[in-house]
Amino acid sequence: MKKLPVGLQLYTLRDELERDFETVMGKVAEIGYAGVEFAGYYGYGPERLRDLMDRLSLTTVSSHVNVNRLRHHLEEEIAMNLALGSRYVVCPGIAASERMPLPEAAAFFEECGKRFADKGIVFGFHNHAVEFTETYEDERWFDAFFGRTSPAFMKSELDVCWVAHAGCDPVEYLQKYAWRVPLIHLKDMRKSADGSVETVELGRGDMDLPAVLAAAEAVGTEWLIVEQDDCAGPALDSVSISREWLTARGY
């Protein structure tokens, strides 16, 4: 079976990118990432950013676009992602100030999904732990939400770390939503005695990552997106260590 390609969620390098965007993007390519997922565009317009991506031979896998941008700047985001050649756009979550009743949220995201689909872009939702700890009508919020949206217009970018942090099994959720999870956020974590979580480089935490990788390959996932929310040392070192861990396993 062909191994899945590996991308990087650029939020991991947010501080470095603010200081020297083009140099850091070059290092991402040098480290061996095939693509990236944007979390903001750092002031770059579509033509300039596409030119940089082409020069570095990096694929734009997807972009994270928050609720405010989806609500008020949807056409601009569609145009940007068409210019970048992105196949996916993902909402990174719903901020506390943007929370909606679940039926309203489902209808809103369904409509966004239809608008993106009209332009050939696949739309998805990225979870945190809260979608698995909160309930709606005796269901986990995550299940209630995806049960009320169409597989044609609403996909999951499953963040396996936050699924596990919520006390659920990411392998079971990959299997439950087989062929509806084209992207996963692959990350590792360690839990402290007080219940807090530290995100760490791949292979240095408590996650059963080989099981996650096997499940992702079996259920139609198309990209592995490495993310480390916070790094104890230099973030570029962390993403390099994680890429090496995957390389050693044939990815």
Give the global pTM: 0.96
pLDDT of residue 193: 78
The string over 159-187, giving b where at least 16 C-beta atoms fall within 10 Å of a residue's C-beta and e elsewhere, is bbbbbbbbebbbbebbeebeebbbbbbbb
Angle at 222 between CA 218 and CA 225, to 5 degrees: 110
* Closest C-alpha among 106, 113, 72 to residue 89: 113
CB of 50 within 8 A of CB of 85? Answer: yes
At 224, the amino acid letter reads L
Q: What share of the chain has pLDDT > 70, as a percent?
A: 99
pLDDT of residue 1: 60
Report angle CA 114, 64, 230 to the nearest 5 degrees: 155
With a cut of 50, list the residues of the chain below it in pLDDT. none
Contact 119, 127 (CB under 8 A): no
Three-state DSSP at 38 gives strand
For the CA atoms of 141, 143, 146, 148, the dihedral, rounded to the nearest 10 degrees, stands at -80
- Among all chains, which residue has been given the structure tokens 């259920």? 219
Q: Name the CATH superfamily housing domain 6-247.
A: Divalent-metal-dependent TIM barrel enzymes (3.20.20.150)
The whole-angstrom separation of Cα 159 and Cα 155 is 13
- C-alpha to C-alpha distance for 36 and 45, rounded to whole angstroms: 17
Residues 63, 92, 178, 246: what is their CA dihedral angle, to the nearest 10 degrees? 70
Q: Which of 193, 197, 213, 215 is nearest to 205 (CA)?
A: 197
Residues 11, 237: contact at Cβ < 8 Å? no
Helix, strand, coil percentages in the chain from 3-state DSSP, rounded to 5: 45, 20, 35
Euclidean distance between CA atoms 185 and 169, whole angstroms: 14
Number of Cβ within 10 Å of residue 46's Cβ equals: 15
Alpha carbon distance 245, 251 (integer Å): 9
pLDDT, residue 195, reads 75
Q: What are the boundaries of each domain within the chain?
A: 6-247
